[in-house]
Structure 1
Amino acid sequence: MREFYNPQCDCSLDIAKEFAEYHHVTNDGEIFQTSLMSALIAGVYEGSTTVEQLLEHGDFGLGTFNQLDGELIAFDKHVFQLKSDGSANPANMTQRTPFAVMTFFKADIELPLTSRMSREAVHQLIDDMIPSDNVFCALRIDGVFDFVRTRTVPKQNRPYRPMLEVVKEQPTFRFTQKQGVIAGFRSPKYTTGINVPGYHEHFITDDRQGGGHIQDYRISSGFLQIGKVSRLVIDTPASTEFLNANLAPEDIRTAIEKAEK
């Protein structure tokens, strides 16, 4: 099923119903995830999964690199490293990640965005069309942005500090009047600690010169694609750091919210 949103009619409810039926009948789409968000919060910043191995499990996704050395964004089978100086570079296939989420992206709903919209408005539009918070969605937006505000955590060295201490020092960047790509996921609330509940999005400019983890944006025009996901596969590390980490602290939801701002 591929639905095209008509901005001249209020058909989001019909799309939502068809999406729900399609999701129920096909049970298709898979997310591959390496490690857990709670491990990243706890300071487990090194993993053994390479970029090359990630691409065996998907052509679209996001994450970070070992030592928190920049943000990872992947689409169209290309993987980029978004550095803490605001720059972007193609990732090396041998680079490793402590946390990443990948899928083979297939658009089930496509929506032209023909007027200016805030990030909150875009999210509300998606929420109106997806029938339940209990399903995963992959989302991609290609567009012209009035602005995109991003942040990127700088590379860390041992002994590693908890992520909530690290993010206090993260630089932020503002890209204005830029064409670019957003790659992201909407994950259910029940994945708190496993993944990032709600929206998690990364951005890269069309000239592939800059980007980062999205804090906010306003789009003037663009094209939104939403892909359904029915399965989650998690590859948990076997490192000493992971095995010894507290992966279920009482305040994990608050910690993730602070880390993702």
Structure 2
Amino acid sequence: MATNELFQYSIVSALMDGVASTGLPINTLLSHGDHGLGTFRYIVGEMIILDGQLYQMKSDGSVLSIEPSNSQDIVAPFAMVTHFQPTAAVKSSISSKSELFDLLTDLLPSARNHYIAMRIDGVFKAMTVRTVGGQQSPGEGLAEVGKHQVSHNFKEPTSGTIIGFRSPEYMQGISVAGDHLHFISADRKKGGHLLALESDGEVEIQTADISTVRLELPCHDAEFDKAKLKGDRERIMAVEG
């Protein structure tokens, strides 16, 4: 994959339908990029790929660094990744996710109907993340898994990095429309799917417009073959927030 081209494995609607018992091996996933997010087999925890290193952020608050050479059996039922090279950058304070959304819109005005990759580095004085604990029964959908997710509130200033993607509205169900963001602390000891944030002063915001997307769908996967994949905007937004 070239710089700032998006590789995505499977679709969000498949996770909503509980398609998560198989997936793309992470060593194959990492061959497509060094900046990304997703989840793991059975939707156990949140995935973040930062500077080419892959981490699993689990519901008990722990963070595992995973080396692909030792992880032939670790797979991603859903993931998005790119070789990130920022094309625009700014330093700014951020009071909320909605303010970050508006700032990125102004920073890349011509990317309204494109994907956007982003990275935010700095100190955050308030942050809420969630981590999913995984399916409790075979085929359990993401909305049900989300009902027993664990939220973590970081009330002390926390240094770290947010990475993620903005997907255009027309791709809802394929990706998560809007900003889909994961956070990991600088000490790599905590993180998760980002629900809310407030920066402690200015943070560095880097972003890139993505107009080339490669989507790979699961093959020889009975769950995927049988899934209805109708999509459900309200349920996706409820669980992905």
Same fold per TM (> 0.5)?
Answer: yes
Q: Is the 8 A contact 2:45 2:134 kept in 1?
A: yes
1:178-217 deviation digits (Å, cap 9, x = unpaired): 0010011011001111000000000000000000000100
Report deviation, 1:133.
2.2
Matched, 1:199 2:175: no
RMSD: 1.5
Amino acid at match of 1:202: H
Question: Does structure 2 retain, via aligned residues, the 8 Å contact 1:51–1:91?
Answer: no
**Unaligned segments of structure 1, at least 5 residues:** 1-26
Aligned to 2:212: 231
1:59–1:103 CA contact under 8 A, matched in 2: yes
Alpha-carbon offset, residue 51 of structure 1: 1.4
Q: Which residue of 2 aligns with 1:5?
A: none
Unaligned 5+ runs, structure 2: none
What number of residue pairs does the alignment pair up?
232
The superposition leaves residues 197-244 of structure 1 with CA deviations (integer Å, 9 ceiling, x where unpaired) of 000000000000000000100012210000121111111002000010
Q: CA deviation at 1:75?
A: 1.5
Q: Is residue 56 of structure 1 aligned with residue 37 of structure 2?
A: no
Query: In the alignment, which residue of structure 2 is the partner of 1:135?
Result: 114
Give CA-to-partner distance per residue, 1:75-130, whole Å, 9 cap, x none. Answer: 111110000112211024221110000000000001112x3532221211111222
Alignment equivalent of 1:174, drawn from 153, 177, 181: 153
TM-score (norm 1): 0.85
Per-residue CA deviations over 1:52-91 (Å, capped at 9, x if unaligned) read 1111100000000001111000111111000011221102
State the structure with more CA Rg. Answer: 1
CA spacing shift, 1:179–1:28, aligned 2, 3 Å:
closer
SS in 1 for 2:147: helix
Q: What's the TM-score once normalised by structure 2's chain length?
A: 0.92
Structure 2 counterpart of 1:146: 125
Structure 1 residue 39 and structure 2 residue 14: aligned? Answer: yes
Give the letter aligned to residue 259 of structure 1.
V
Residue 119 of structure 1 corresponds to 97
Query: For the residues of structure 2 that align with 1:79 and 1:116, how far apart are their CA atoms?
Result: 26
Identity %: 38
Which amino acid letter does the alignment assign opposite residue 43 of structure 2? Answer: L
C-alpha contact 1:28 1:230 (8 A) present in aligned 2: no
Q: Distance in 2 between the 1:79 and 1:171 partners?
A: 21
Aligned pair partner of 1:156 in 132, 135, 157: 135
- Deviating beyond 6 angstroms after TM superposition, the runs of 4 or more aligned structure 1 residues are none
Mapped to 2, the partners of 1:172 and 1:116 lie a distance apart of 21
Q: Which whole-Å CA distance do the structure 2 matches of 1:82 and 1:51 have between them?
A: 15
Match of 1:218 in 2: 198
Q: Is the 8 A contact 2:117 2:209 kept in 1?
A: yes
User: Residue 98 of structure 1 is aligned with which of 44, 69, 77?
Assistant: 77
Cα deviation, residue 163, structure 1: 1.7
Give 1:140 deviation, angstroms.
0.2
2:229 is matched with which residue?
A: 247
